[in-house]
């Protein structure tokens, strides 16, 4: 077990050292793989909460994503020059209260359930399940994730095809563009404290349905660690979480304890993205659309845990 060390950035497609959340992977005798989390020097994005960072669904999801990616490159031989994109993500935190006072790292166990490769070695279908634990019998998170990928040159062809021949803009080219500051949501209304971590503008909260415009900060390295030509899945999940929390009476008193997300199309950077939500008790259904086309469907489980002392 390689605890305390961080996996190399190339294995998890990250550019900023502070965005690396796991150790190098190891192989267990039972055919599964392991990583330890490394959270001693987190970016402020994962600490922008009124309670411990372990109660952050996005932190746990990203750590699991990094663990799986490191395994597929290091042990399964997938080429590193691959552009990966999610088909679906399901994450569940069985006992959020157990994470509130955690002061140690967890172990993430990854099992590759299915891996179908194309002739060029890129994944046509990659399905894996994961369990995160603090020790024997201390389950903290479980995931099921489905991923596809393509060599970066073929990926560019795919993106142009989807856009009727036009090349997509990138976050680097849009980074200096001002956000919709006039309509940017107040951090406290979406469970945040820092404006740079707010990703929603024009927030409209109704008795049955809420909506907002996607407006993330392209200069935020936790949201956009490297150059992207679309809104990544983690940004869409963050938008869904913020809108789900905004629909509660006290967003700082609630946390997301689960998400099920399906990514239908790439979310384009140069098209207005609308996020809408409908709450059903402690579950909120969220949809992200562009030009009346659904790009992502998400469902969030919420739980009230109060404010940390």
According to the model, what pLDDT value does residue 178 have? 61
pLDDT for 180-215, tens place per residue? 677 999 999 999 999 999 999 999 999 889 999 999
Q: pTM (2 decimals)?
A: 0.95
Among 48-62, 146-160, 171-185, the minimum mean pLDDT is found in 171-185
User: CB burial class (10 A; 0-12, 13-18, 19+) of residue 145?
Assistant: buried
pLDDT band of 230, cuts 50, 70, 90: very high
Whether 308 shows a pLDDT value over 60: the answer reads no
Round the average pLDDT of the chain to a whole number and report it.
Answer: 92
Question: 171, 59, 152: which is closest to 108 by C-alpha?
Answer: 59
- The distance in angstroms from the start CA to the end CA of the chain is 34
According to the model, what pLDDT value does residue 97 have? 87
CATH superfamily, with its number, for domain 9-157? Hotdog Thioesterase (3.10.129.10)
Strands 26-27 and 33-36: antiparallel
Residue whose token pair is 């095809």: 161
Whether 80 shows a pLDDT value over 60: the answer reads yes
pLDDT for 110-145, tens place per residue? 999 999 999 988 999 999 999 999 988 899 999 999
pLDDT for 267-284, tens place per residue? 999 999 999 999 988 899
Contact of 67 with 22, CB cutoff 8 Å: yes
Question: 83, 85, 268: which is closest to 162 by C-alpha?
Answer: 268
Top mean-pLDDT range of 8-22, 33-47, 165-179, 258-272: 258-272
pLDDT band of 306, cuts 50, 70, 90: low
- Would 9-157 and 168-304 be classified into the same CATH topology? yes
Domain boundaries in the chain? 9-157, 168-304
Architecture in CATH for domain 168-304: Roll (3.10)
Say how far apart CA 49 and CA 221 lie, in whole Å: 18
Q: Mean pLDDT, to the nearest integer, of 67-83?
A: 93
According to the model, what pLDDT value does residue 1 have? 53
Distances (CA, A) of 84 to 207, 247, 272, 276: 38, 32, 24, 26
Whether 309 shows a pLDDT value over 50: the answer reads no
pLDDT for 85-103, tens place per residue? 999 999 999 999 888 878 8
Say how far apart CA 92 and CA 140 lie, in whole Å: 9
Structure tokens, 274: 């609308």
SS3 letters for the chain?
CCCCCCCCHHHHCCCCHHHCCECCCEECCCCCEEEEECCCCCCHHHHCCCCCHHHCHHHHHHHHHHHHHHHHHHCCCCCCCEEEEEEEEEEECCCHHHHCCCCCCCEEEEEEEEEEECCCCCEEEEEEEEEEECCCCCEEEEEEEEEEEEEHHHHHHHHHHHCCCCCCCCHHHHCCCCCCHHHECCHHHHCCCCHHHCCEEEEEECCCEEEEEECCCCCCCCCCCCCCCCECHHHHHHHHHHHHHHCCCCHHHEEEEEEEEEECCCECCCCCCEEEEEEECCEEEEEEEECCEEEEEEEEEEEECCCCC
Say how far apart CA 28 and CA 19 lie, in whole Å: 26
């Amino acid at each position: 077990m390689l605890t305390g060390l961080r996996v190399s950035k190339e294995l998890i497609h990250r550019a900023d050292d502070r965005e690396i959340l796991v150790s190098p992977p190891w192989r267990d005798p039972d055919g599964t793989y392991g990583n330890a989390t490394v959270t001693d020097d987190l970016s402020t994005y994962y600490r922008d909460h009124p309670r411990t960072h372990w109660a952050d669904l996005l932190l746990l999801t990203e750590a699991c994503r990094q663990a799986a990616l490191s395994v597929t490159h290091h042990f399964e031989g997938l080429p590193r020059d691959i552009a990966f994109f999610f088909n679906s993500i399901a994450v569940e935190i069985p006992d959020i209260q157990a994470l509130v006072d955690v002061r140690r790292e967890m172990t993430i166990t990854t099992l590759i359930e299915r891996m179908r490769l194309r002739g060029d070695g890129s994944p046509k279908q990659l399905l894996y399940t994961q369990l995160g634990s603090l020790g024997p019998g201390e389950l903290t998170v479980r995931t099921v994730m489905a991923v596809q990928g393509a060599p970066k040159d073929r990926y560019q062809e795919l993106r142009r095809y989807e856009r009727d021949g036009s090349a997509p803009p990138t976050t680097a080219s849009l980074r200096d563009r001002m956000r919709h500051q006039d309509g940017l949501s107040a951090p406290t209304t979406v469970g945040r404290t820092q404006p740079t971590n707010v990703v929603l503008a024009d927030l409209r909260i109704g008795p049955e349905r809420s909506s907002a415009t996607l407006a993330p900060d392209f200069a935020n390295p936790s949201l956009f660690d490297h150059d992207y030509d679309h809104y990544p899945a983690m940004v869409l999940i963050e938008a869904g979480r913020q809108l789900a929390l905004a629909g509660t009476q006290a967003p700082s008193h609630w946390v997301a304890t689960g998400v099920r997300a399906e990514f239908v199309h790439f979310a384009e950077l140069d098209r207005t993205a609308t996020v809408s939500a409908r709450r059903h008790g402690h579950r909120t259904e969220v949809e992200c659309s562009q030009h009346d086309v659904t790009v992502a469907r998400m469902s969030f489980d919420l739980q009230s845990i109060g404010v940390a002392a």
